[in-house]
Amino acid sequence: MDFSWSDDQLALKRSLAEFGATLNDGVIADDRSAQFPAEKWRRCAELGVLGLAVPEQYGGTGLDILTTMLALEALGYACHDNGLLFALNAQMWAVQAPILRFGSDEQRQRYLPPMLSGRVIGAHAMSEPGAGSDSFAMSTTAVKNGDSYVLNGTKTFASNAPVADLFIVFAATNRSRGFMGITAFLIEKGTRGLRVGRPIEKMGLRTAPYSEVFLEDCEVPAEARLGREGNGGTIFKHSMGWERACILASHVGAMQRQLETCVEHAKTRQQFGQSIGKFQGVSSMVVDMRLRVETARLLLYRAGWLRSQGEEAIEEVALAKLHLSECFVQSSLQAIQIHGGYGYSTEFGIERDLRDALGGRLYSGTSEIQREIVARHMGL
């Protein structure tokens, strides 16, 4: 594994960091009001963020996965709106990636270019009120009716749903086949029988809206099916593999920013006649934060490198997702502790990082699920 970067890659990192810093106006207000930053989304699309890993023929830049991770890390370092970055990643890995891999030529040409340009926003609808981590124990059904399917059921925690124009919806077409009886569908906003609930209020990532999605005799043509009938489980696992590997790349950048902020504060904040960094309790926390950044980055890029070699790297991806999500929470807690009352205040944004970080232990498979994956690969 060689994680040295070319001049072009480093130039991309610098340019995205410069761009990311321009996205910080109004972050506190948007977080407080849970406002989706539509204009910032459009600007990200125009710069090519959504198309980083998509081939040029569909309007993307066709970057390899490690370069894409580097770019997302740079955005996480400079952009303080973790919700916006989460929403972008949700579309990139849970909507665009499965369309690119499993979609027909017509579906790719119809949906990918407008999504990359920001004209269409995609949502992913898998989880249900009664099926969270047990994703495939779903009650949503899709019944074949001639040349169409009729869908009925309820989805929840559908990322981007309140602002979405296109939905990937998973439904059971043959319950007796379990995992092999799930099918994926591409359903456009405005389709009769598709209804989006109100945005669900949440603790963090407040600028990334999600909601319930209701399907009530929602009839779609067979051409709306993504991939083969019964291939939905494979599609879901494929998208989760990419999402778990990449969605927390921005957290590495955020942890690097936190570390630098804490080092500067520890050097300049005076207490009892000396900088607080001279106290072992503070310096030890800063060192721990440094250790987390370095180990998180190594696990992230190892998982990315393995996937770039054509490996699923299921265990390595699970380890990276588990470690990164837990590290961001712990480093955010220590950043608050180091800053004291300032860290607890809204103005400095550190408390927002903590609220946003906690979501990483839940989405794309909880920390407990990642541990189960790793344990299975260890033969336990």
Q: Which pLDDT score is estimated for 180?
A: 87
Look at strands 274-275 and 270-271 and give their pairing: antiparallel
Low-confidence residues of the chain, pLDDT below 70?
132-136
Q: Which pLDDT score is estimated for 133?
A: 58
Give catalytic residue positions: 243
| pLDDT tens-digit readout, 262-281 | 999 999 999 999 999 999 99
Q: Using CA atoms, how far apart are residues 357 and 332, in angstroms rounded to an integer?
A: 8
DSSP state letter for 128: B
**Cβ(370)–Cβ(303) below 8 Å:** no
Statement: 7-121 belongs to CATH 3.30.565.10: no
| CATH 1.10.540.10 residue spans of the chain | 7-121
- Judged on CB neighbours under 10 Å (0-12, 13-18, 19+), 330 is middle
| CATH 2.40.110.10 residue spans of the chain | 123-230
Q: Using CA atoms, how far apart are residues 128 and 140, in angstroms rounded to an integer?
A: 8
CATH of 123-230, one of 3.20.20.370, 3.40.50.620, 3.90.75.20, 2.40.110.10: 2.40.110.10
DSSP string for 186-252? EEETT-TTEEEEEEPP-SS-TTS-EEEEEEEEEEEEGGGEESSTT-HHHHHHHHHHHHHHHTTHHHH
CATH topology of domain 248-377: Butyryl-CoA Dehydrogenase, subunit A; domain 3 (1.20.140)
pTM of the model: 0.95
3-class DSSP assignment, residue 114: helix
Q: Which pLDDT score is estimated for 132?
A: 62
- Sorted by sequence, the CB contacts under 8 Å of residue 67 that are 6+ apart come out as 9, 12, 52
Neighbour tally for 291: CB within 10 Å: 13
Look at strands 182-188 and 225-226 and give their pairing: antiparallel
Q: Using CA atoms, how far apart are residues 27 and 347, in angstroms rounded to an integer?
A: 10
| pLDDT tens-digit readout, 108-150 | 999 999 999 999 999 999 999 987 656 667 899 999 999 999 9
Q: Which pLDDT score is estimated for 2?
A: 74
| CATH 1.20.140.10 residue spans of the chain | 248-377
Question: CA 132, 134, 138 angle in degrees (round to 5)?
Answer: 80
